[in-house]
Structure 1
């Protein structure tokens, strides 16, 4: 297919088909390979990914990153925080900002809108001076040109960059003029590189009910940036509709605008205005966030409907967003049920869908291979609709009734906590961890041998019990008050449950980048969800038998399983969530009957499921809250329910967190200090809370004094009587030596602070 047939990919995964980037990065960090090896591996990945997109008219030259695209923007704009200025080596500085080092804490991390991808938060002080450096950008552009393509340069837009920075949009607004000058310098440099230049500005922030002030800034920004001679620039909004922003952007010199018609059908309202303009519409019709193969016939019909509203030549079919949020390819998957596999399309297959769809839309004849691909696509779309797997195998009324009747625990928290305190007899500032402990090579080798059939289940379980025993012995020796079993049997907090729940499947190689080298394999929920057998009971029972101390039962909550899975799109997400909640409820019942007195139901992804539009949030909030209640509210008063939430801005959901009615919540705050806790202070949060006092995403070992300062700082916003002391997240990805040292320091710091109470 000619590259001249209009089509756009808004971004491609960078981790590699077999997580090559992860392997090389971690070897580099461990000083096992040098910088040349790192660069060679990255270059091979880029060449492969550009090759996959070779028939796409516009694909990005710089969507690859060694860690995070926002961090790359920080470097490009020269927005390096002053505290990293002492690091002369650019590569070392880059990874210090990402991961921290012995002298520097890393930049904070937050979730990229309502996804499970983490971005690094720019630190923009009032006196920030931008010093653009296009060296890396130019190298990537030149490398992609060598692949004989028309490259598209992809940048995080200035409004989104400001809004996602540490102080937020309003506080940073005074920097807009200086920031635009920096962007302008980048564009002027880019304009000197060639004659056919395209720049994609990602501005998903404009889908978040933008204020009139922000819309004015959008007009100002793109009046300036889109006027750069020699560059065809377009703004991409995604994850929701952006009708208000579209009206404003159409009044600027932009070449085009990219709209998400998968997750923002309301964008159809913008078609009359687009038709009156001279802008190209980059139509996001291939879902970049879910793994279901599109129905090419239905998508072509949709595009043809668009073409009745504006000229066909001004419509570029596209992905709804970057394909970063998808696994690499379905093709190598050998264990997906044969009936289900043809229903799926990962990043590589989405590119093929877009190629064929664009060719059909342009009226270009398909080749024989493409015609067969199209035929199978249409056939499989019908088979999925007709399949018994999707035709209400279970009684959907059970989930609907459960949602209707869901309520929180009937006994007020103050009465429950009094019963729990008498039962547990914990000291002030009780200590615990979030759940997982390091999974070293021995653990991973044991699991791999079991999956390959090289060892029996008995040998596998015996090995896992040995790791659990050693983990419990360490926690007892260190002095923890509430123990965990370490979760050695779990590859991932969601993947583990996806393997055990009916109606879900786990891929062999469906890895998706979460941050840096960290990847997850989201379950694919294709049918009705149920719990055919116990999932954690035997492991928790064994762990509790080894100690007289309190042992937490560890579960992943229904909302997090939903939000960190690829979910079927043929019934409401609310029903899927309720089905999962009923399964978790059964597991909680069995844990409680087995004598597990503290049960943690992690809702790490509760916040990220919120729709970007305020008008749509109440419906999500209702079913998410009720699903948590379905799972947890039937326990006895003296059973303590914990939950955990990852890096989020909690201000706008704090009343919902209160309504969840968990007895204890642990949250990631180590990188953000007390800023995230202010929301809890404002509502006089009366339940117990464990703000993480050290950052587990960094290999550095905080000292006792540093941790003491962290604990004492918490007292400024939270009553010491409410505080638990813990790391800010699970420890699975850390090494044992740093973990033991850090946790021993945590215990010593807690004991010294206790002595002063």
Structure 2
């Protein structure tokens, strides 16, 4: 019998229950017991949903988290850097401090968070805890066992999940003071006994098998770790608990040559992203006893699965291996999708017929398994009709937009002059001091802003009343920036609900959910727009607000846009045309906006592209094609203006050493980058490559509520100036300030401005 599986499930909870409980705890409104009870209720709901759907292998354990799963593993394995131990906080507060920092001046507590990074090529963030060369491990908490027994008490059999040991050590961070040649994978021998201890406890508790996620196998790095995989799994197999080794987000490639020899019971592969790998994998494992788990239902997108196409792929595997050796499931965890379409009541019936969220995908998995077992349901017939209708809608999309993309010329990708010429024109126009200060764009989104936006959406405020409220907020934000002494101002973005959704709502070709929340990190959730047809800009999107802000300021104002690659990567894209075509459609729409901003008198325009590095394919051989169209999309967006318009771009979590030449090819006049949260490690890249345009390495971490000291910022500016010419340096935070409170924002920016004034006098 073909069985069904889901690798992971959203943990936001109904009505974002997880966010409310966790943020309530941080605010002191929820006790630790109430926090734990709330999350326990969410886990129960998740397990029961999957059981009711008929899923055979239901995940538990390490795929659920209060904040981040990789952080959980580090904490559970006793990897707690000394600076957190020294604070003498409770376990739960230590855990949260590791993820988001902790500052309590009355108690003398001030500790910065661990570094964050993107999880492979997704928009989910992981917390990368420092590991030292002499790191020791201990099983501080057996989360996998606890949650397996928690589910079992409810009468639900689950498959416990952990990061595989090789992927875990490949994702964590090397401590900055560790020897240059140290890599965390060297700790494998020390870590394996902890995994053995966990697996032995699960076997004793009655677990039927365990799921070890080894996504590193879909990268080039994974192919170089054959010896480590062989060592790890030879040791883990001794426990006698069947192991399902899962891969996701790409193809296993040449790694199948050693995977086939590992002592595992089942191998999971992603056939949504990489369907062409099926034949090679079947050929490799057919002579072995390894079962094959087919990731056919997308865990990354929200389109209804073509069940007949998936069935055909699965039947190929069944024909070669037999039904007892084949399972069907999601391509990855469903973490990246919203909970259910059942709560969406503003989408049309036609639109809903295109979509499948986590709960519906679980149903697709079980329907597919049933069909392969000879019990095909009526759902298949309806599915075929829905897929055909969707294809017809795609076929009749806006041809004029595609014609405009086809007519793009090389000249449209170039500024009118090279950077040195542009820079002189921009200096004369902007008249900024040395070490100019600015922010990345957004300012705190207060309760009052959110209430006004909600009332406007409900029709309780007229358009005029809403716009007056936003103008008042902009005027206030401009006044605050002037009082603090910032040099290049922003309007604060009070009118924006989200940096991608805001633009999608004003472009053709998008639809939006009401409750389609997806976790980005911690308690930060987003509602990704859905690209359903060709994209164009009917009217200006930001000019009205930036022009108003400039009208109430004598200092220059920076216009703020989200770039085409980021809009695309942080939306659910179409599946019928390439990402390149979709990105260039967005770029043309944004090009029109950039030109309109410049014509309205905005002389600095920031086009954020934090997702360029995130979207980089996991295999190096796929890089060039992606980077060519991604960089071209940015240049297409920004090259329609005169030399005296200063073009900025911003990057978050961009470990872009390997693609630095492409960052240079963007030809932005100014780039700002997340640097402080990465402990200034990007400085090494600039030492190696240099950078000729202006740059703003972030001087403090905005993802933490802690306020950086003035001296801390001075020290960072001094470090930057040792690598980058002082006259090229901009002073800014790591990222936007939307999620921060006003008190900490003003205190932090005061210290930033004072440090910049010091730098003007003391750094050359």
**TM-score, with normalisation over the residues of structure 1?**
0.96
Closer, same or farther in 2 for the Cα pair 1:211/1:15, shift >3 Å? closer
Matches for 1:670-709 after TM superposition, within 5 Å: 670-709=676-715
**Deviation per residue, 1:550-603 (Å, 9 max, x gap):** 100000000100111100100111111100000000000100001100000000
Structure 1 residue 406, shift from structure 2 partner: 4.8
Q: Distance in 1 between matches of 2:731 and 2:411?
A: 35
Q: Distance in 2 between matches of 1:113 and 1:342?
A: 30
**Equivalent residue for 2:247?**
237
Q: Work out which of the residue numbers 304, 321, 342 in structure 2 matches 1:331.
A: 342
Q: CA RMSD in A?
A: 1.6
**Equivalent residue for 2:452?**
446
Closer, same or farther in 2 for the Cα pair 1:296/1:39, shift >3 Å? same
**Deviation per residue, 1:589-626 (Å, 9 max, x gap):** 10000110000000011111111111111111111011
Q: Which secondary structure state, in structure 2, belongs to the residue aligned with residue 533 of structure 1? A: coil
Structure 1 residue 243, shift from structure 2 partner: 2.8
**Deviation per residue, 1:443-487 (Å, 9 max, x gap):** 111111111111111111111111111000000000000000000
**Equivalent residue for 1:667?**
673
Q: Distance in 2 between matches of 1:161 and 1:388?
A: 41
Q: Work out which of the residue numbers 467, 491, 494 in structure 2 matches 1:485.
A: 491
**Equivalent residue for 2:226?**
215
**Equivalent residue for 2:121?**
114
**Equivalent residue for 1:174?**
186
Structure 1 residue 363, shift from structure 2 partner: 2.0
Structure 1 residue 376, shift from structure 2 partner: 2.4
Matches for 1:177-256 after TM superposition, within 5 Å: 177-194=189-206, 196-210=207-221, 213-229=224-240, 231-256=241-266
**Equivalent residue for 1:456?**
462
**Equivalent residue for 2:40?**
43
Q: Work out which of the residue numbers 458, 470, 473 in structure 1 matches 2:476.
A: 470
Closer, same or farther in 2 for the Cα pair 1:59/1:717, shift >3 Å? farther
**Equivalent residue for 2:60?**
61
Q: Which secondary structure state, in structure 2, belongs to the residue aligned with residue 567 of structure 1? A: coil
**Equivalent residue for 2:531?**
525
Conservation of the 8 A alpha-carbon contact between 1:390 and 1:526: no
**Deviation per residue, 1:369-407 (Å, 9 max, x gap):** xx3x43322211111112267545434232133276653
Q: Which secondary structure state, in structure 2, belongs to the residue aligned with residue 476 of structure 1? A: helix
**Deviation per residue, 1:404-451 (Å, 9 max, x gap):** 665332411111112211222211110000000001111111111111
Matches for 1:428-447 after TM superposition, within 5 Å: 428-447=434-453
Conservation of the 8 A alpha-carbon contact between 1:553 and 1:598: yes
Closer, same or farther in 2 for the Cα pair 1:235/1:170, shift >3 Å? farther
Closer, same or farther in 2 for the Cα pair 1:462/1:584, shift >3 Å? same
**Deviation per residue, 1:83-139 (Å, 9 max, x gap):** 212235110110010110122100100000111100000211101011113443332
Where do 5+ consecutive residues of structure 2 fail to align? 104-109, 176-180
Structure 1 residue 273, shift from structure 2 partner: 1.3
Q: Which secondary structure state, in structure 2, belongs to the residue aligned with residue 394 of structure 1? A: helix
Q: Work out which of the residue numbers 11, 14, 18 in structure 2 matches 1:17.
A: 14
Q: Distance in 1 between matches of 2:34 and 2:186?
A: 42
**Equivalent residue for 2:178?**
none
Conservation of the 8 A alpha-carbon contact between 1:403 and 1:627: no
**Deviation per residue, 1:612-668 (Å, 9 max, x gap):** 111111111111011111111121111100000011211111110000000000111
Structure 1 residue 226, shift from structure 2 partner: 2.6
Q: Distance in 1 between matches of 2:666 and 2:82?
A: 40
Conservation of the 8 A alpha-carbon contact between 1:389 and 1:527: no
Q: Distance in 2 between matches of 1:536 and 1:436?
A: 13
Moved more, 728-737 or 391-400: 391-400
Q: Which secondary structure state, in structure 2, belongs to the residue aligned with residue 115 of structure 1? A: coil
**Deviation per residue, 1:312-357 (Å, 9 max, x gap):** 2111101000000111111211222332221011111111111111
Conservation of the 8 A alpha-carbon contact between 2:57 and 2:158: yes
Conservation of the 8 A alpha-carbon contact between 1:222 and 1:249: no
Q: Distance in 2 between matches of 1:601 and 1:639?
A: 13
Q: Distance in 2 between matches of 1:674 and 1:697?
A: 16
**Equivalent residue for 1:271?**
282
Moved more, 27-36 or 244-253: 244-253
Q: Distance in 1 between matches of 2:65 and 2:680?
A: 30
**Equivalent residue for 1:573?**
579
Q: Distance in 1 between matches of 2:549 and 2:356?
A: 41
Q: Which secondary structure state, in structure 2, belongs to the residue aligned with residue 119 of structure 1? A: strand
Q: Which secondary structure state, in structure 1, belongs to the residue aligned with residue 5 of structure 2? A: coil
Q: Work out which of the residue numbers 146, 152, 155 in structure 2 matches 1:148.
A: 155
Q: Distance in 1 between matches of 2:194 and 2:545?
A: 55
Conservation of the 8 A alpha-carbon contact between 1:406 and 1:626: no
Where do 5+ consecutive residues of structure 1 fail to align? none
Q: Distance in 2 between matches of 1:285 and 1:404?
A: 39
**TM-score, with normalisation over the residues of structure 2?**
0.95
**Equivalent residue for 1:619?**
625
**Equivalent residue for 2:139?**
132
